Structure 1
């Protein structure tokens, strides 16, 4: 423990007497400073025990009161007043002012030199620092031994929590809790998701001190883990009291050990990802048998079950803020899908290639459920999901996911499943600006004719097409003779330079009319 006023008073060799503030003697003494100035506060940092003989203080009660108040405002922990030089006794006004402000006031007898008090404090501080170093070194050895155990991460967190008399939790790169000690801390750590998200935006290593989750009295500190731009994980520790110097050394040792473990496994993880991406490319290329041979038993029964393909890209939004980083959102989604697969013990194949994340997973599993849920919550992403297919039909699933993704982008939706593409009407797909421009250009000559001449060609064309070219029915809808309608359709052909006998022409004109052209 650092030295306190109480420990100095208990030192019999110093012969100090408490005159005021006896209930505040437990405050730690950061240093001892001697000054005879009537205002020494410009030279103080707070936390000092100030020693003075009062040579320049005089006996004016108001001046003594102001002196004490200045010291209290400067947050000194106590005032030691040496008697026998400037004052035979401690002025009563000084004692009264110290009682008013709750400032500990110690009488220093003439035989006790101020240097003896300074030496006592220096020795206590040095002893406390030495103890902190030795304690933290031993704790670091314990953490290192724990990290080498079979369950290294769990053992390390257990030792760290025990040393801090609190709790510790480890998060993966996606912010999901993967280990906690004690066991009850997992629920508490899971409520820090928002703080983890804010820390993720800062390059590793970074840290944050936050209030305990859910209204608890914990003091929580979170550290990002990793040496690159993107954190590889996060460590959170919760304690009832503020961490002292020794505790911080131990936490930093845990951060170093966990970072080393994550960085060592990164090469293996990257190799696993590249292997999975290569297998996925084989399946998309129709090389299912080759993929099965290469995969062996690594992915369990994944290739023997119905699978679905999820294709994700940055959403084509015109209102995207400059701070948005779609590529980072894709990388985060990949991390979270992999974390969901690890938690559910489900295999998956994933490929993050430029602005496209492709995930292949078992139909009906936790991986696809987590992936679609996460896409739905991410405004900057759009996704298409294929139907369930056997592994040898993955190329078809890729086409399905591609078409569903295109529909999602066009409609401004987060996720579209393949089954939705063929359902409903094709007309909502005609809302694209390019389609409308085509329709407007195709029908513009007819609109120009109707604006300057008689005939109402656009309305007549719409009625005739809606009646599938039935002259009598369309003429009845318009309230004109069928010969009049025939004349108008010939004028349409003349103006557009196209034959209405061509089904492709009729289709284009009908879609142009329906698109609002």
Structure 2
């Protein structure tokens, strides 16, 4: 989990006190930023804990504080940290009241807690969260790889669905559903055929995002293959946007399913070539050679006695008869 205002308040070394916005301390903190500007909004991206000493603010003016806090809340600032013992011995009531009216968390920062300590705490918590996400992502990669090698695409989809806390589906080149996990997601996957067909018209790799057919989930579609046209497609449905660890899992699944798809295609082509060679040997009267080439491909089929029956299209038979008629005289009719 990323750091929150609540985690900072409970940080034993910071000694922060909540003065307003007690009901909004569970929001994530993207960064801690120090600014003494009267209007820092142009430099905010949202999600920041803003740290101030009110060096350039009249923090005792109720009207000025209402306008100031309203601008911060509108810019997506998640909290305001006010250092006491610098320009003000305590947090001015005008600022406290403005923060309460706007629902913006206001944290009192004691004199002995430098802003740098708060920034370090936020940075360390963000780094730890990212490390956990990357570690979880690598664990997901190992699990998906194990499933793909030992149990096949269906097991891989089941593992992926668990990793993203949603569902996953595999489509073939025609856009038909090949496998889905869990089973209850089969209808949702089937309703995405049109989106999969549109994705197939784009060069590989291609991705798209769509809401669920009934608005029940968020679906990511990814083409699979190494050629110009996709060989298959992967759909991943979740209730919300994917986090870092889930994103690692999806990327791993795309790579593994692409390898599986290309491998299956190559194996199928090889089997067709072997089958053609075996048939030519049988037609040439070399069953022993045919058995040696086929190996275990057809099981015990070639070990049993067999008879070859050749079928010829009607057009080919007529053409052969016509050619034979020009090559030699037709036989005389039998005597009466």
In the other structure, the counterpart of 2:13 is: 13
Shift of 1:178: 0.5
Separation in structure 1 between the aligned mates of residue 53 and residue 93 of structure 2, nearest angstrom: 15
Shift of 1:393: 5.2
Separation in structure 2 between the aligned mates of residue 212 and residue 109 of structure 1, nearest angstrom: 49
Separation in structure 1 between the aligned mates of residue 32 and residue 314 of structure 2, nearest angstrom: 78
Separation in structure 2 between the aligned mates of residue 274 and residue 44 of structure 1, nearest angstrom: 64
What SS does the aligned partner of 1:148 have?
Answer: helix
Give deviations 1:272-318, integer Å, cap 9, x for gaps: 67889x89xx9xxxxxx89xx99x998xxxxxxxxxxxxxxxxxxxx
Shift of 1:191: 1.0
Alignment map for 1:10-409 (pairs within 5 Å): 10-58=10-58, 59-149=60-150, 151-213=151-213, 215=214, 217-271=216-270, 392=311, 394=313, 396=315
> Which has the larger Rg?
1
Question: Which structure has more RCO (C-alpha within 8 Å, separation ≥ 6)?
Answer: 2
In the other structure, the counterpart of 2:331 is: none
What SS does the aligned partner of 2:85 have?
Answer: coil
What SS does the aligned partner of 1:173 have?
Answer: coil
CA RMSD for the aligned pairs?
2.7
More helix by share: 1
What SS does the aligned partner of 1:184 have?
Answer: helix
Alignment map for 1:440-451 (pairs within 5 Å): none
Shift of 1:147: 0.8
What SS does the aligned partner of 2:313 have?
Answer: helix
Q: For the structure 1 residues 18 and 391, does the alpha-carbon distance in structure 2 shift closer, same or farther, using more than 3 Å as the test?
A: farther
Separation in structure 1 between the aligned mates of residue 81 and residue 313 of structure 2, nearest angstrom: 83
Report the TM-score when normalising by structure 2: 0.79
What SS does the aligned partner of 2:183 have?
Answer: coil
- In structure 1, the gaps of 5 or more residues are 283-288, 299-389, 400-517
Shift of 1:391: 8.2
Separation in structure 1 between the aligned mates of residue 123 and residue 171 of structure 2, nearest angstrom: 42
Q: For the structure 1 residues 241 and 90, does the alpha-carbon distance in structure 2 shift closer, same or farther, using more than 3 Å as the test?
A: same
In the other structure, the counterpart of 1:421 is: none
Separation in structure 1 between the aligned mates of residue 102 and residue 200 of structure 2, nearest angstrom: 45
Alignment check: 8 A CA contact 2:69 2:98 kept: yes
Shift of 1:201: 2.1
Shift of 1:12: 2.4
